[in-house]
Amino acid sequence: MVSSTIFAAEKEIKIGVIYPLSGALATIGRDLQRAAELTADELVNNKNPNVDTLMAKWGGIPSLGGAKIKLIFADSRGEPDRGADLAKRLILDDKVVGLMGAYQSAVTKTVSAVAERYGIPMINDSSTSPDLTRRGFKWFWRTTPHDEYFDKDLFELLKGLTEGKVKGVKTVPKDQLKNLTYACENTEWGSSVAKDLERFAKEYGFNIVKGLLYSANAPDLTSEAQAVVAAKPDSMLFASYLSDSILMIRTLKGMKASPHLFWGQDAGFEMADFPRMLGADTNGVLTRTVFIAKLAKVKKVAGQINELYKKKYGDDLTGATARSVVGVQTWAYVLNRAASTDPKALQKACNEIDIPGYELVMPWDGIKFDATGQNIKGRGLIGQYQWKEGKAELEIIYPFDLASANMIYPFPGWK
Amino acid sequence: MGEGGGRKLPAMIILDAILQGILMGLLFALVALGLTIIFGVMDIVNFAHGEFLMIGMYAAYWTSLLLHVDPLVTLPASAVVGMLLGLASYYWLVKYLIRGPMIAQLFGTFGLMLFLRYLAQFLFGTDYRIIQKGLLVGKSLSLGPFILDWTKLSTAVLSLLAFLLVYYLLHRTKLGKALRATALNKEAAAYMGIRTDRMNAFAWMIGGGTVGIAGGLLVNFWYVYPTVGLLFLMIAFASVAMGGFGSIKGAFFAGIIIGMIEMLFPVFGHLIGWDFLGPQFKFTVVYFAYFIIVVLRPQGLFGWKR
Amino acid sequence: METLKDAFDFSDFSRIERIILVLFSIFLLVFPWLGFGSFVKTVMIYFLLFSLFGMGWNTIGGYGGQVELGKAQYVGIGAYTVALLMVWWRIPFWVSMPIGVLIAIGYSFIIGYPLFRLKGHYFAIATICTSLVLQDIFINWKLVGAAKGIELPIRDHPDFLYMQFKSDTYYFYFIMALFYAALFYMNWFRKSRLGYQLRMIKDDEEAAESLGIDARWCKIKAYSIASAFVAVGGGFLAVYNLYIDPYSVMDLDLSIKIALMAMLGGAASMWGPIIGAAFLIPLDRFLGSWLGAQKGLIGVDFMIYAAMIMAVSAYQPRGIWGIIEQFRKRGA
């Protein structure tokens, strides 16, 4: 059998990362690339005195003789078949030891299928479609919680409102929140969110009065917005990417919509551009997210790593970029635990790994994969944009014990 | 879904949809105008028409942003850019395409479409942009129970003006009459001393200019990104087919009808309770409409060409 | 009367063409063993696949003279049939593929009948419309997976029943076999009665009609043949990528690429679509991978193709093959 010393002789460990670096989601893709690169450079490969994690003291992978991680990026352009080709190239030609990516669930599907065929481990940092861990794959692990967790969080929040558990809000009678509408973009992602919303609504005793799927590239959402408003919901729920979320809000603003609660499922609602473009119009909007800069208040490491990113690129980490960070962090830990780059050893390491929460930038309990490859120690957050002193700040509203400010309820609407 | 409390009556919803439809429709009509003029004069379908629109949108966007002027004032810039684009396309490409078979013409303008689209992607990136600051941006007018977006309203009015202007140009000026003569019968017009070549270029200039203006108006409430042209190209085809290839009046009415179809369709689906026919198919219906019209009545409503 | 032998009879091509064909075939046979990287292999596979698509398009677009831009819907029909039949009822590829072809042919007759009342530009635009309509329907139709698409379950060993393999080499020979089947078919087709009728129609439809040829019916037949070809390719895509969705197999861009390749290479010629694919596929895949990840150069690959298309349309509408023929005439 090959011993770890032979593999340790490689001073560079190559990991293939597939993101949409051009095409419609290029902005997100490039942000993810930057976050991943930063993590590899400043957190794994070099010692960092400013961050209080064990990893920051490594300067390379300890059990592999200080070998450095080298990320090889490939542009999927958001196309699943291109993603598959790139995966093959990374595995067969570039000889990467593992893969990471690919943001869009559709691309992740084909990329992971290639990894599964070739027996190369893939860690999925950023795709939230629940289907991905339901395929019985043996070479696929996902660090991020998937959409079901997030959608459930929303209903926990709604329930919490009716039970008086939300910071700064008196108990809300259930019929003030009962009727829900949703409008989700119609690809893979949005349509599974829609399915979850229907399911949880039934479970928690809420009423979906209108639900629709729309084309994410539809530049005009008037009819959709009208349909939503016409149903007179108490709460409006959305799953949108950036441009459609902005358009939706603008359109609804034009109609003077006034639900009691307005929630967006991450993606568009979470990006730095969202509050930048809409300014005060975001006041009161809730968004599911995984990471908010405000976490620094409750978790020091989060703040420290955020500072690294902010110093280099000027923006705070968002839920998407923070997950890239975690992806690379996880790879580093897996490599370290395996003490080898042999695929079987890596597979074993992934199945057994248990990274403690305090090592991660995320406010999670840690990283531990269940039998389907899903990380069961992750959690989502629900944040709310609050307009203070000319700036839109994202405050944590859920989980209740991490709340960083009082929730604005009901949704103030637009005058 | 209870009674009262501001829930709109079906009649109101329909009326609202019709109103919105007319507003959008006027813009569609303006977009279709350029396409129909070029076809009328040269028998060429400009596949790059949607891209001309897109460039008009970018022109307005960048002018407004870089010169810090209100978007309404940037319309001349869009018009000029559109006209230059039309002229350049004619003299550098289309002139050579007409010598070849139809397949070459089709692919030629197709190639132009792809070229412009990816040039835009190269120059401006794939980010979605929209006018953020302006006198009318984000404001609405309340007319009784109807809420109308100021940008859409001004777009509709300006589109109408542009249409009338072009109509006047074509029917009351010597140049316009010469153009129409060439469209009707280019050999006869040539015998009368009207240079076909010049008229062709002129057609492309007007075609580009009008759709450029349409773009300048559109970008106030519609995102611009490199591939935005395709949807409008298809809408323009449907409008031109419905109105009759080569007919200006046709483009006008057909554009408005299509605008109304787009808005009414989801309402229709909702009212008959069959929600599957929802907003996600609002453009599908337009494509379908093109197909039906062209098969059943190729000359459209007012068509006189073939 | 045309016989099966006609499919293999290339004698009406020049010596050089036949020699090149033989050399090329030998090259293809040994290609996987020549030690190229996996990326090059995938490029070759797509090259053969798109040659297949292009040859199919050629029956109606080239020989038939009616430019159509809606082939992607048939790729989708082929791909979805294979995928759905496998996922729902575990039907093997060899059964589901012919079913897909039959559905494609059936659909093409239904659409073809009204479609072929149109000509020229109207026709081209109408084909785009039908493809967009079908795509929109699939995007919203839950039964076929809507926008989520269909994922084919992975099977372990080389599986000839469901056509799933670990190594690209198997896929390469598979698509190569399909490619040759298509090539021989096209060779037969152009010498068949339908082939001649189409050419007559293309030259002068009225004259052909006066000779008793039902132009519309001929075109519909050619259109169906094209659809069948393309559906086969679609089935291949389903088992190659193991994931399909309306955006990847039914997109307008795909229709455009197919038509473009055939036209660029030279429509209405045997080799045209193959030459076109040989130019554009490597351009697409390689440039895409070199230029994509670096910020400033997005879209340059398409700009190059577009410029090529414009140049060819303006100067040599018969495509690259037309240019080659021009040289030959001058030389010989």
pLDDT digit string (tens) for A55-71?
A: 888 888 888 888 899 99
pLDDT of the residue at B9:
67
Could you tell me which chain B residue has the CA closest to the CA of C133?
B284
| B222 part of contact set with chain A, CB < 8 Å | yes
Quick one: pLDDT at residue A6? Answer: 47
Give the C-alpha separation, C69 to C55, whole Å: 14
Q: Are C64 and C198 in contact (CB under 8 A)?
A: yes
Mean of all residue pLDDT scores within chain A: 85
Nearest to B270 among A23, A213, A227 (CB): A227
Question: Residue B261: is its pLDDT beyond 80?
Answer: yes
The pLDDT score that the predictor gives to residue C147 is: 74
pLDDT digits (tens, 9 = 90+) for C51-82: 999 999 999 888 888 888 899 999 999 999 99
The contacts of residue A401 (CB under 8 Å, 6+ apart) are none
Q: Say how far apart CA B91 and CA B187 lie, in whole Å.
A: 21
Residues of C in contact with B113 (CB under 8 A): 306
The more confidently predicted of residues C37 and B53 is: B53
**CB within 8 Å: C313 and B118:** no
- The closest CB to that of C303, out of B102, B110, B119, belongs to B119
Q: Do B147 and A256 touch (CB under 8 A)?
A: yes
Partners of C246 on chain A (C-beta within 8 Å) are none
Name the more confident of B146 and A104. Answer: A104
Tell me the mean pLDDT in the region A80-97: 90
Residues of C near B (CB-CB distance < 8 A)? 65, 67, 114-115, 117-118, 120-122, 124-126, 128-130, 132-133, 136-137, 139-140, 252, 256, 260, 263, 267, 297-300, 302-303, 305-310, 312-315, 317
Q: Which residue is closest to B261 within chain A, CA to CA?
A: A223
Say if residues A142 and A127 touch (Cβ distance below 8 Å): yes
**What's the pLDDT score for residue A330?**
92
* Torsion of the alpha carbons at C225, C230, C232 and C238, rounded to the nearest 10: -160
* Set of chain A residues whose Cβ sits within 8 Å of the Cβ of C148: 106, 129, 131, 187-188, 191-192
Q: Nearest-CA distance from C7 to chain B in Å?
A: 28
Contact C243/A215, CB-based, under 8 Å?
Answer: no
Indicate whether A242 pLDDT > 80. Answer: no
DSSP state of A284: T
In percent, how much of chain B has pLDDT > 70?
Answer: 92
Do B291 and C132 make contact, defined as CB atoms within 8 angstroms? Answer: no
Chain-chain contact of A93 with C39 (C-beta, under 8 angstroms): yes
The residue among A265 and B144 whose pLDDT is bigger is A265
* pLDDT of B135: 72
d(CA B128, CA B120): 12
pTM score over 0.80:
yes
Q: Which of B3, B53, B270, B286 is the best residue to mutate to test the A interface, defined by the most A CB atoms within 10 Å of its own CB? A: B270
Q: Are B59 and B215 in contact (CB under 8 A)?
A: yes
For chain A positions 246-285, those within 8 Å of chain B (CB to CB) are 246-247, 250, 253-256, 277
Residue B274: pLDDT over 80: no
Question: Which residue from B5, B130, B132 is facing A232, i.e. has the nearest CB?
Answer: B5
Tokens 């483009």 locate to: B251
CB C305 within 8 A of CB B114: yes
φ, ψ of residue B137 to 5 degrees: the values are: -65, 130
Reference A250, options B125, B154, B131; nearest CA is B131
Distance from CA of B146 to the nearest CA of C (A): 31
Instruction: Give contacts of B225 with chain A, Cβ < 8 Å.
Output: 24, 243
- pLDDT of C97 reads 93
**Beta bridge pairs of residue A208:** A180
**pLDDT tens profile A154-204:** 888 888 888 888 888 888 888 888 889 998 887 777 888 888 899 999 998
From the CA of B126, how many Å to the nearest CA of chain C? 9
For residue A12, the cross-strand partners are A68
* Number of Cβ within a 10 Å radius of residue C3: 9
Who among A81, A89, A93 is closest to C241 (CB)? Answer: A81
Secondary structure letter of residue C296 according to DSSP: G
Q: With a cut of 80, say whether residue B144 has pLDDT above it.
A: no
Q: What is the pLDDT of residue C179?
A: 94
- Residue among A25, A182, A210, A220 with most chain B CBs within 10 A, to mutate: A220
Quote the percentage of chain A above a pLDDT of 90. 19
Give the phi and the psi of residue C266 in degrees, each rounded to 5. Answer: 130, 95
Nearest to A403 by CA among A363, A352, A345, A344: A363
Return the pLDDT at A3: 44
Using an 8 Å Cβ cutoff, are A257 and B149 in contact?
no
Pairwise CB contact (< 8 Å): B275 & A212: yes
pLDDT at residue C1, rounded to an integer = 44
Q: How confident is the model over A166-180, as pLDDT tens digits?
A: 888 888 888 888 889
Tokens of C124: 């081209």
| Cβ C38 vs Cβ A88: under 8 Å | yes
Q: Looking at beta carbons, which residues of chain B come within 8 Å of A253?
A: 138
Read off the pLDDT of residues B162-183 as tens digits, 9 standing for 90 and up: 889 988 988 888 888 888 888 8
Per-residue pLDDT band at C98 (split at 50, 70, 90) = very high
A299-315 tens-digit pLDDT: 888 888 888 888 888 88
Closest CA to A208 of A237, A179, A183, A232: A179
The residue-averaged pLDDT of B112-116 equals 92
**Which range, of A338-347, C120-129, C292-301, averages the lowest pLDDT?**
C292-301
Q: Does A220 touch chain B (CB under 8 A)?
A: yes
Q: What is the DSSP secondary-structure string of A210-273?
A: EEEEE-TT-S--HHHHHHHHHT--SEEEEE--HHHHHHHHHHHHHTT---SEEEE-SGGGGSTH
pLDDT for residue B283: 80
| Parent domain of C135 | 5-331
Burial of B277 (0-12, 13-18, 19+ CB in 10 A): middle
Q: What gap in Å lies between CA C220 and CA C108, rounded to an integer?
A: 8
Burial of C19 (0-12, 13-18, 19+ CB in 10 A): exposed
Average pLDDT over residues A338-365: 89
pLDDT at A99 over 90: yes
Of all residues in chain A, the one with the smallest CA distance to C42 is A85
CA-based nearest residue to C318, from C272, C254, C252, C250: C272
Interface test with C, best of A187, A189, A215 (most C CBs within 10 A): A187
State whether A214 and B149 contact (CB < 8 Å): no
Domain ranges of chain B: 45-227, 229-299
Q: Are B244 and B267 in contact (CB under 8 A)?
A: no
The residue ranking higher by pLDDT, C177 or A23, is C177
Q: What is the DSSP string of A14-36?
A: EEEEEE--SSTTHHHHHHHHHHH
C-alpha B33/C-alpha B251 separation (Å) is 6
Query: Which amino acid type is present at position C177?
Result: A
Evaluate if residue B138 carries a pLDDT over 70.
Answer: no
pLDDT at C296 over 70: no
Q: Is C122 close to B298, i.e. CB distance below 8 A?
A: yes
Please answer yes or no on whether B291 and C130 come within 8 Å at the CB atom: yes
pLDDT digits (tens, 9 = 90+) for A279-306: 788 888 888 888 888 788 778 888 888 8
Indicate the SS3 state at residue C169: helix
Phi/psi class of residue C40: alpha, beta or left (left: φ > 0; alpha: ψ in -120 to 50)? alpha
Query: A219 vs B6: CB contact, 8 Å cut-off?
Result: no
- Whether residues A230 and B140 touch (CB distance < 8 A) is answered with no
Residue C286: DSSP 8-state: I
Buried b (16+ CB within 10 A) or exposed e, C149-174: bbbbebeeeebeebbbbbebebbbeb
Tell me how far apart the alpha carbons of residues A377 and A398 are, in angstroms, rounded to a whole number: 16
Chain B touched by A2 (CB under 8 Å):
no
CA distance C233 to A165: 58
For chain A, list the domains and their CATH numbers. 4-145+299-367 (3.40.50.2300), 148-289+381-402 (3.40.50.2300)
Give phi and psi for C159, each to the nearest 5.
-120, 105
* Stretch B111-135: mean pLDDT: 83
Q: How far is it, in rounded angstroms, from Cα A252 to Cα C208? A: 60
A-C interface: how many C-beta pairs under 8 angstroms? 95
Is the CA virtual torsion C111, C114, C118, C119 positive or negative? positive
Q: Tell whether the model's pLDDT for residue C330 goes beyond 80.
A: no
Least confident residue range of A228-232, A353-357, B75-79, C327-331: C327-331
pLDDT grade for C331, boundaries at 50, 70 and 90: low
Tell me the C-alpha distance between B29 and B32, whole Å.
5
pLDDT recorded at residue C228? 93
Average pLDDT value for residue range A216-245: 80
Question: For position C34, what pLDDT does the model report?
Answer: 84
When computed from its CA atoms, the radius of gyration of chain C, rounded to whole angstroms, is 20
Q: Worst-scoring range by mean pLDDT, B75-79, B136-140, C141-145?
A: B136-140
Q: Does A207 touch chain B (CB under 8 A)?
A: no
Closest by Cβ to B108, choosing from C125, C305, C313: C313
Quickly tell me which residue has 């190229």 as its tokens.
C36
Which 3-state string (H, E, C) describes chain B? Answer: CCCCCCCCCHHHHHHHHHHHHHHHHHHHHHHHHHHHHHHHHHCCCCCCHHHHHHHHHHHHHHHHHHCCCCHHHHHHHHHHHHHHHHHHHHHHHHHHHCCCCHHHHHHHHHHHHHHHHHHHHHHHCCCCECCCCCCCCCCEEEECCEEEEHHHHHHHHHHHHHHHHHHHHHHHCHHHHHHHHHHHCHHHHHHCCCCHHHHHHHHHHHHHHHHHHHHHHHCCCCCECCCCHHHHHHHHHHHHHHHCCCCHHHHHHHHHHHHHHHHHHHHHHHHCCCCCCCHHHHHHHHHHHHHHHHHHCCCCCCCCCC
- CA A354/CA A348 separation, integer angstroms: 12
Are residues C77 and C234 in contact, defined by beta-carbon separation less than 8 angstroms?
Answer: yes
Spatial distance between the Cα atoms of C154 and C163, rounded to a whole number of angstroms? 11
Cβ atoms B259, B21 nearer than 8 A: yes
On the question of pLDDT at B51 being above 90, the answer is: yes
Handedness of CA A323, A325, A328, A333 (dihedral sign): negative
Closest CA to B80 of B172, B180, B236, B215: B215
CATH number at residue C254: 1.10.3470
The dihedral region occupied by B246, where left means phi > 0, alpha psi between -120 and 50, and beta the remainder, is left
pLDDT above 50: residue A2: no
Which residues lie below 8 Å from residue B210, measured CB to CB, with a gap of 6+?
B30, B33, B34, B37, B82, B162, B166
What is the Cα–Cα distance from B137 to C153, expressed in whole angstroms? 50
Q: How far apart are CA A292 and CA C286, in angstroms?
A: 39
Cα Rg, chain A, nearest whole Å? 21
Q: What is the arithmetic mean of pLDDT over C15-39?
A: 85
At A405, the amino acid letter reads A
Average of pLDDT values for C34-46?
A: 86
pLDDT tens-digit series, residues C160-191: 888 888 788 889 999 999 999 999 888 888 88
Q: How far apart are CA C38 and CA A88, in angstroms?
A: 7
CA distance A119 to A137: 10
Here the contacts of A46-55 (C-beta below 8 Å, separation 24 or greater) are A48/A308, A50/A304, A50/A307, A50/A308, A51/A301, A51/A304, A51/A305, A51/A308, A52/A300, A52/A301, A52/A304, A53/A301, A53/A358, A53/A359, A53/A360, A54/A359, A55/A329, A55/A332, A55/A333, A55/A359
A66: left (phi over 0), alpha (psi -120 to 50) or beta: left
How many domains, chain C? 1
